[in-house]
Amino acid sequence: RILIIGACGQIGTELTLALSKRFGKDKVVASDIREGDEAMMQSAHFEILDATDLQAVEDIIFRYKVETVYLMAAMLSAIAERFPAKAWDLNMNSLFHVLNLAKDKKIKKVFWPSSIAVFGETTPAQNTPQTTVMEPSTVYGISKQTGERWCEYYHKKYGVDVRSIRYPGLISYTTEPGGGTTDYAVDIYHRALKHGQYRCFLKEGTILPMMYMDDAIKATIAIMDAPSKNIKIRSSYNLAAVSYAPEDVTASIQKHIPNFEISYEPDFRQSIADTWPESIDDSEARRDWGWSHSFGLEEITKTMLDNLKDRYTL
Ligand code: VAH
């Protein structure tokens, strides 16, 4: 079976549904620190699980005969700045537990998400290469970079089959993001439909790499499907789709809602965004396991507005 830890989060929710659709409800065990919603309960076995509790993780793996773990539980960038110790504890210890279970052959395969937050101010910001200067300056970025080093270490030293992606900012309408710096790019659609205006916490000109959730899920499943020998990078793969700034999303929304207005009131998240790349070179992912994206900004905007519309007009 497959276990998703952090199944109620931004990525976990859609990943659980996709895996259940693909492998069948009985093959998927969804877990989170909080109860799942109705759709989740219908699509998988569900367990309440604290990702930092090794015994509890091991019990579920044993009970359900789990072979593959997707460890999606994490504290995101903005919120981690408020709770550094807690973020470190959650982001690192959950990873150690899973890597150690794989090392001890209690599971066979691991997926762990990294992020463009592994990069920092000294990283080349345009078309950021796979291998480059990495001096992250956020708690979240430090935890992701450290995690990458451990993934590679466990692969080289113990043969652990761990696979990872450096996700950009992710956009979806099903689940709302929880405390990231790229959250504006989701919030903006909700506000556009609800209020016709949005006060953005990042300033004009802040270009960041972004991706529609369906593309992110497609990539996650593709990297896990690929034969092990194709996975040449065991730290984490660069992954990219589109790059844009708040004014670009605004212009794309105005094509559907002409009166939509944006104003800017940057807060502490601006200084996080300022250290991240504008665009990413993901040629290794394209070469090694056939990655390609489908959604551009216009498709993202149309899909978001079409799907969120009813929530605010009914
Ligand atoms: C965050 N969405 O903003 C996350 C992400 C690209 C950054 O990892 O924290």
Each residue's pLDDT tens digit, 79-91? 999 999 999 999 9
Q: Whose CA is nearest to atom 1 of ligand 1?
A: 180
Q: Does the pLDDT value for residue 282 go beyond 70? A: yes
Q: Does the pLDDT value for residue 313 go beyond 90? A: no
Other CB atoms within 10 A of residue 9 CB:
23
Give the start-to-end residue ranges of the domains of the chain.
2-168, 171-209+241-313
Q: Does the pLDDT value for residue 261 go beyond 90? A: yes
Query: What would the mean pLDDT of 256-260 be, rounded to a whole number?
Result: 97
Residue 180, ligand 1, Cβ within 6 A: yes
Residue 221 CA, ligand 1 centroid: distance in Å: 20
Residue 141, ligand 1, Cβ within 6 A: no
pLDDT of residue 312: 87
pLDDT band (50, 70, 90) for residue 197? very high
Among 3.30.70, 3.30.810, 3.90.25, 3.40.50, name the CATH number for the domain at 171-209+241-313.
Answer: 3.90.25
Backbone angles phi, psi at 130, to 5 degrees: -55, -50
Q: Which atom of ligand 1 is nearest to the CA of 76?
A: 9
pLDDT of residue 175: 85
pLDDT band (50, 70, 90) for residue 314? low
Taking each helix axis from N to C end, the angle separating 297-313 and 246-254, rounded to the nearest 10 degrees, works out to: 60
What ipTM goes with this model?
A: 0.96
Per-residue model confidence as pLDDT tens digits over 100-119: 999 999 999 999 999 999 99
pLDDT of residue 48: 97
Domain 2-168 CATH superfamily: NAD(P)-binding Rossmann-like Domain (3.40.50.720)
Residue % of the chain over a pLDDT of 70: 100
Residue 314 CA, ligand 1 centroid: distance in Å: 31
Residue % of the chain over a pLDDT of 90: 96
312 belongs to the catalytic site: no
Residue 117 CA, ligand 1 centroid: distance in Å: 7
